């Protein structure tokens, strides 16, 4: 596990300014901001655009049904579409995604049906789909803990000789946790095929990044681990997709992990139960609105003529179908068997749990009888 350390080249240092390929006005940026990265072909840009539109519609719809009390809670990723979609688009089928509670949009985009993607937040079960079916791990709540799982899985794949890359999302606040540090360090020392994508959405619930880190950028942290670090405009999906793709290829080809910071903004409240007016003002929100990732790419694609009226109409339709899909999913009554709470605690059955299961079964049965009378 240590030889890999030898012969590794010095890491790429984060740039002075965030890497950006398409500016807020939809225009292409000057080469210094592109930092040597190529603008993706228009078909790729179109598919990124389409998925961002669908992703946002999904999140907006879920937030709406959450306000109607259909979900226990929901952390929206609206405004962060460039990070969510750029990352998922850069992954291969055999690669693994380690999302957080924030990243349901990414989970859905990677192919999990809305009903399954939302099962956790509906309160049905802690996880709503089979990780192995989609190569997506649980949406982690304990902050930064999932980053270590990603490093472990990537290391196992490397040891087995599989060309699998693990990508994990992290929030800006989560970088303060010890587990984030340990994950960065293990990944670098073991040269694990991992890509860390930090979505710096400026807040950890109410705490602004200035109270979270004194570093110039979070990407600079990569230097302290001997990892390449990329400081990226997290509202430019072209840049996010291109940089993450390069990092994924590097990792796949045995050149180790990378840390990518995407500068973005959490447009919605932390969750439906949060009240942002207590800690941030309208001006700030407006300033970021002007940098919107979808509007920006739309301007660009209209400029190039790649996005036709017809195409956007098609995408709009698709989005509405998805939204309907979401409403249907959350309105459908799910059958839950209370007794299942005992069934997955251990692989090897336990007598005490069997006894407790029987206890609940009897309780439920007599409740039935009560209600029958």
Partner 1 sequence: MTLVHEPAAPATAKPSAPISIAGALNAALRDAIEADPSVVVFGEDVGPLGGVFRVTDGLAARFGENRVWDSPLAEAGIVGTAIGMAMYGMRPIVEMQFDAFSYPAFEQITSHLAKMHNRTRGAVRLPIVIRIPYAGGIGGVEHHSDSSEAYWTHTPGLTVVTPSNPADAYSMLREAIASDDPIIFLEPKSRYWSREDVALPVTTAPMTSAVVLREGTDVTLLAYGPTVRTALEAADQGALEGLSVEVIDLRSLSPFDDETVGASVRKTSRAAVIHEAAQFGGYGAEVAARVTERQFFYLAAPVLRITGFDIPYPSPKLEEHFLPTADRVLAALDTWEW
Ligand X SMILES: Cc1ncc(C[n+]2csc(CCOP(=O)(O)OP(=O)(O)O)c2C)c(N)n1
| Interface stretch with its own copies, choices 79-87, 118-126, 223-231, 241-249 (CB under 8 A) | 223-231
User: According to the binding rule CB under 6 A, does residue 172 interact with ligand X?
Assistant: yes
User: According to the binding rule CB under 8 A, does residue 2 interact with its own copies?
Assistant: yes
- Contacts for 59-66: CB closer than 8 Å, 24+ residues apart: 59/104, 59/105, 59/268, 60/323, 61/322, 61/323, 61/326, 61/327, 62/104, 62/118, 62/121, 62/326, 62/330, 63/268, 63/272, 65/326, 65/327, 65/330, 66/121, 66/272
Angle between helices 81-90 and 42-67 (to 10 degrees): 130
The token pair that represents 8 in the structure block: 């590794």
Closest among 73, 89, 92 to 81, alpha carbons compared? 89
User: According to the binding rule CB under 8 A, does residue 352 interact with partner 1?
Assistant: yes
User: According to the binding rule CB under 8 A, does residue 130 interact with partner 1?
Assistant: yes
User: According to the binding rule CB under 5 A, does residue 80 interact with Mg ion?
Assistant: no
Judged by beta carbon distances under 5 to 8 A according to partner kind, the member of its own copies, Mg ion, ligand X, none in contact with residue 143 is: ligand X
* Interface with ligand X (CB under 6 A), residue from 49, 203, 225, 342: 203
**Cβ at position 371, least distance to partner 1 in Å:** 14
C-alpha to C-alpha distance for 215 and 220, rounded to whole angstroms: 7
| Ramachandran category for residue 239: left, alpha or beta (phi over 0 → left; psi -120 to 50 → alpha) | alpha
User: According to the binding rule CB under 5 A, does residue 172 interact with Mg ion?
Assistant: yes
Judged by beta carbon distances under 5 to 8 A according to partner kind, the member of partner 1, Mg ion, its own copies, none in contact with residue 67 is: none
Judged by beta carbon distances under 5 to 8 A according to partner kind, the member of partner 1, its own copies, Mg ion, none in contact with residue 224 is: its own copies
**Cβ at position 356, least distance to partner 1 in Å:** 5
CA distances from 242 to 23, 53, 254, 322 (A): 15, 19, 19, 27
Interface with partner 1 (CB under 8 A), residue total: 80
Classify residue 242 by its DSSP letter.
H
Helix (H, G, I), strand (E, B) or coil at 99: coil
User: According to the binding rule CB under 8 A, does residue 8 interact with its own copies?
Assistant: yes
| DSSP output for 151-187 | HHHHHHHHHHT----EEEEEETGGGGSHHHHHHHHHH
What x-and-dash track marks residues 270-289 binding partner 1 by CB under 8 A? Answer: ---xxx--xx----------
User: According to the binding rule CB under 8 A, does residue 16 interact with partner 1?
Assistant: no
Q: Cα-atom radius of gyration of the chain, to the nearest Å?
A: 22
> Which residues are catalytically annotated?
266, 270, 279
What x-and-dash track marks residues 183-222 binding Mg ion by CB under 5 A? Answer: ------------------x--x------------------
User: According to the binding rule CB under 8 A, does residue 26 interact with partner 1?
Assistant: no
Instruction: List beta partners, residue 27.
Output: none
H/E stretch holding 32 reads helix 31-34
User: According to the binding rule CB under 8 A, does residue 215 interact with partner 1?
Assistant: no
User: According to the binding rule CB under 6 A, does residue 61 interact with ligand X?
Assistant: no
What x-and-dash track marks residues 133-162 binding ligand X by CB under 6 A? Answer: --------xxx-------------------
Nearer to partner 1, 154 or 291 (CB): 154
Work out the burial of residue 372: count CB atoms within 10 Å of its CB; fewer than 13 is exposed, 13-18 middle, 19 or more buried: exposed
Contact residues for ligand X, defined by CB under 6 A: 102, 141-143, 171-174, 201, 203-205, 266, 270
């Amino acid at each position: 596990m240590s030889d890999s350390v030898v012969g590794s080249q010095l890491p790429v240092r984060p740039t002075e300014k965030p890497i950006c390929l398409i500016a807020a006005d939809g225009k292409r940026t000057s080469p210094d901001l592109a930092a040597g990265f190529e603008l993706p072909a228009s078909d790729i840009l179109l598919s990124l655009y389409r998925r961002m539109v669908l992703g946002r519609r999904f999140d907006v719809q879920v937030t709406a049904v959450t306000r109607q009390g259909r979900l226990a809670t929901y952390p929206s990723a609206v405004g962060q579409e460039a990070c969510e979609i750029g990352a998922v688009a850069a992954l291969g089928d055999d690669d693994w995604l380690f999302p957080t509670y924030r990243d349901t949009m990414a989970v859905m985009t990677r192919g999990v049906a809305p009903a399954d993607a939302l099962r956790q937040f509906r309160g049905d079960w802690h996880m709503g789909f089979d990780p192995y079916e989609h190569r997506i791990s649980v949406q982690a709540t304990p902050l930064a803990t999932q980053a270590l799982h990603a490093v472990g899985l990537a290391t196992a794949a490397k040891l087995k000789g599989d060309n699998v890359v693990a990508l994990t999302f992290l929030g800006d606040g989560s970088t303060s946790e010890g587990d984030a540090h340990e994950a960065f360090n293990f990944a670098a020392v073991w040269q694990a095929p991992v890509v860390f994508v930090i979505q710096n959405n400026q807040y950890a619930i109410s705490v602004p990044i200035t109270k979270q880190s004194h570093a110039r950028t979070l990407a600079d942290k990569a230097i302290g681990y001997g990892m390449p670090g990329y400081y990226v405009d997290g509202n430019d999906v072209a840049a996010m997709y291109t940089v993450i793709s390069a990092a994924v290829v590097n990792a796949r080809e045995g050149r180790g992990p990378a840390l990518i910071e995407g500068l973005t903004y959490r447009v919605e409240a932390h969750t439906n139960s949060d009240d942002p007016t207590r800690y941030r003002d309208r001006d700030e929100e407006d300033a970021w609105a002007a940098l919107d990732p979808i509007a920006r790419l739309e301007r660009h694609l209209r400029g190039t003529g790649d996005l036709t009226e017809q195409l956007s109409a098609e995408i709009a339709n698709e989005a509405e179908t998805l939204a309907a899909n979401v409403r249907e999913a959350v309105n459908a009554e799910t059958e839950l068997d209370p007794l299942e709470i005992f069934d997955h605690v251990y692989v090897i059955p336990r007598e005490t749990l069997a006894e407790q299961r029987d206890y609940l079964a009897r309780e439920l049965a007599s409740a039935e009888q009560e209600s029958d009378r």
